[in-house]
Amino acid sequence: MNQIQIDRINALARKAKAEGLTPEETAERDELRRQYVAAVKASLTGHLDNTYLVDEKGNKRPLPRKDRR
């Protein structure tokens, strides 16, 4: 997700509040939002994959993954 796409999401959000969107613009906004959410999830997953727990003895182990529901 790049800044141009984020700016487009914001422009569509402003237009939706001001005057409404055409069906094509609504579809574009929905697709851009899906891409944005996927990018945020991927970023969070990357951060959590590099997160470690340290116990009282100083042993470092990776954060365990939880099953998705």
The DSSP call for residue 2 is -
**4-42 tens-digit pLDDT:** 999 999 999 999 999 999 999 999 999 999 999 999 999
pTM: 0.76
* Domain spans in the chain, listed from the N-terminal domain onward: 3-62
Per-residue H/E/C for 8-49: HHHHHHHHHHHCCCCHHHHHHHHHHHHHHHHHHHHHHHHHHH
Q: 3-62 sits in which CATH class?
A: mainly alpha
Give yes or no for a contact between 9 and 37, defined as CB atoms under 8 angstroms apart: no
